[in-house]
Amino acid sequence: MERKLIPDDIEVPSGYNVEVFASGLTTPINMVITDKGDMLIGDAGVSDGDGKVLILKENGPELIASGFNPPLTGVNFYNDNIYVSHRGFITIIKPDGTMEDIVSGLPSWGDHHNNKVIFGPDGKMYFGQGTATNSGVVGEDNEGWINDYPFFHDYPGEDILLRDNNFQTPNLFNPNDSKPVYTGAYSPFGMEVGPASKIRGTSRANGSIMRANPDGSDLELLAWGLRNPFRINFDGHGRLFCANHGTDVRGSRPIDKCPDEFQLIMPGIWYGWPDFSAGLPVTLPFFKPEGMPAPSFLLKDHPMIPPKPFASFPNHSATMGFDFYNNSAYVSEFGSLAPTTTGGKPDPRVGHRVSRLDMSTGKISDFAINKTGLPATATGGGGLERPIDVIFDKKGTMYVVDFGIAPKDNPSAFEPATGVIWKISRS
C-alpha cells in the first residue's frame, strides 16, 4: 500500500518545521549516525522474516547485511564495527563485511527480546533484555512461541522463592484435551510450583540490563526486575536511563493500568517486575482488571523495595527510543496494540507521538503529535503513525523513525514500504 505523507498534519512547537527525510522503508526500528556521518537504519524484519542493516544514500537505502533473526531490535556503530541486536544474539559487522556473533544464548525466545546496544563512558557495551511473558507466567497469550519453545520461561537475576500460585489455562499443546493445565511463575508451561519453590538466578536474566566489553567478553548483570527495557541511553551527565514497558491486561495473570516507566538505572537494583509497577505493589486495588481477579504476588520474598521511576508515561503509550538534547529527553511513543494488550478495550488516546521530558522538573509534554491526537490511519491523515526512535544530529536536528502502518485486523503485522523517517528542525 502507498502511505499518505503530509508533514503539516503534525503539530510541533512554534519555530520548528517538519519534513519527510526518507520514505518507503519497511519496519525501520532505529537509525544511528556514525562518527563518519553515515546514517545506518535497522529493519526489524518482521514483515519478511529477515532482519537487515541499511545505509541511507542520496538515492535511497542500500543493503549492508541481512539474515538477522527477527526482530532485529537495533543497530549501533562503535570502533568501526556495526553492532546488530537481533533475537538471541549480538552480532558485529566488521569493516571488511565479515560478521561475528559476540554474544549468544540470550533468553529472547518469548514475548520480548534483547534490545539495542549502546556504549557507556566506561567503554562498556550495555543493552536491555526483555521478559518472556507479560507478567511472569507462561499462558494462553504465548501461543505465538510456546510450540516452538515449549520449555522456555522467564529467568530471574538472582535466586528467588516463589509462592504456591499456579494459574489455570487450557492445554495449549492439545486443544482437544478438556483437562486444564496449571502453570507456576518462572516455569515452563504446565509445570506447577509448590510453597517456597526456589528458582536459581542467572546473569543472562530476563527483564534486565546487561553489560560487557565491546567484544562481548565479561558479560555481567547490571540490574533486573524490568519488563521490557526497550531502549537505554546515557545522558550528558553519564547517567543511564531506560524506557520500560508496563504490564498488559492479558494472559494468565492480567494486570491493569501499569504505566510505562522512565527509569534511572543503577547497578544491583531490582525494579519490581513481576510484583510491582512504577514502584507500587500490583496487589493494590488500582491494578485490578475489570471483571477479573486481583493480582497476587508471585515472589515469596522481594529482593528489595523497588524505586519509583524517574517519570511515568500513560498506560499503553509504549515508550520506545529516546535521545537527550538541552536537558530534555525526547521520547518516541509507539502507541497501543489494542485490543490484544488492553483486555479487549479499544485503542486508548495515548502514544503515536514524540514527548518531551524536562529532566529538571520531570514534566512531560507533547513535542510532535498529529493535530487530531490520533495515528494518521485513524483519520485518513498523513502524519505520524508508529514513532519508534528519536535521535539528534550534531546540529540539533531531530530525526523521528516511524515504524509503519499495521492493518486494523492484525495490529502486530506491518505493511511493507510504509516506514518513514521524519526530520524536525528549527525553521
pLDDT digits (tens, 9 = 90+) for 387-405: 999 999 999 999 999 999 9
What integer is the mean pLDDT of 65-76? 98
209 neighbors 232 (Cβ within 8 angstroms)? yes
Q: What are phi and psi of 8, to 5 degrees?
A: -65, -15
What integer is the mean pLDDT of 383-387? 98
Predicted confidence at residue 120, as pLDDT, reads: 98
What integer is the mean pLDDT of 218-225? 98
Predicted confidence at residue 339, as pLDDT, reads: 87
What integer is the mean pLDDT of 315-331? 97
Query: Is pLDDT at 336 greater than 70 in this prediction?
Result: yes
Predicted confidence at residue 338, as pLDDT, reads: 85
- Of 63, 64, 69, 77, the closest CA to residue 50 belongs to 69
Predicted confidence at residue 103, as pLDDT, reads: 98
Cell 538541552 identifies what position?
326
CA dihedral 224, 227, 233, 237 (to 10 degrees): -50
What integer is the mean pLDDT of 98-124? 98
pTM comes to: 0.96
The enclosing H or E element of 264 equals: strand 260-264
What domains are there in the chain, each with its CATH number? 7-426 (2.120.10.30)
The whole-angstrom separation of Cα 297 and Cα 319 is: 26
The whole-angstrom separation of Cα 387 and Cα 227 is: 20
Within 8 A by CB and 6+ apart from 43, the residues are 25, 26, 27, 28, 29, 51, 52, 53, 54, 72
What integer is the mean pLDDT of 3-23? 98
Query: Is pLDDT at 407 greater than 90 in this prediction?
Result: no
DSSP string of 129-171, one letter each residue: E--SSSSS---GGGTTTTTTSTT-----SS-EEE-S-EEEE--
Better-scored residue on pLDDT, 341 or 153? 153
Query: Is pLDDT at 189 greater than 80 in this prediction?
Result: yes
What integer is the mean pLDDT of 326-348? 91
Within 8 A by CB and 6+ apart from 263, the residues are 226, 229, 241, 242, 244, 271, 307, 309, 310
Predicted confidence at residue 334, as pLDDT, reads: 97
Task: Quickly state the pLDDT bin for 156 (edges 50, 70, 90).
Answer: very high
Query: Is pLDDT at 135 greater than 90 in this prediction?
Result: yes
Q: What are phi and psi of 286, to 5 degrees?
A: -55, -35
Query: Is pLDDT at 50 greater than 70 in this prediction?
Result: yes
Cell 543493552 identifies what position?
127
Task: Quickly state the pLDDT bin for 340 (edges 50, 70, 90).
Answer: confident
Amino acid occupying residue 276: F
Query: Is pLDDT at 412 greater than 90 in this prediction?
Result: no
Per residue, what are the HEC states of 15-82? Answer: CEEEEEEEEEECCEEEEEECCCCCEEEEECCCCCCCEEEEEEECCEEEEEEEEECCCEEEEEEECCEE
Q: What are phi and psi of 75, to 5 degrees?
A: -125, 150
Predicted confidence at residue 343, as pLDDT, reads: 85
- Angle value at C-alpha 36, between 234 and 46, nearest 5 degrees: 65
Predicted confidence at residue 329, as pLDDT, reads: 98
Query: Is pLDDT at 408 greater than 80 in this prediction?
Result: no
What integer is the mean pLDDT of 268-279? 98
Task: Quickly state the pLDDT bin for 251 (edges 50, 70, 90).
Answer: very high
The rounded mean pLDDT for the chain is: 96
- At 319 the three-state DSSP class reads strand
Predicted confidence at residue 411, as pLDDT, reads: 64
Query: Is pLDDT at 233 greater than 70 in this prediction?
Result: yes
Strands of 60-68's sheet in order across: 28-33, 39-43, 51-57, 60-68
Predicted confidence at residue 200, as pLDDT, reads: 98
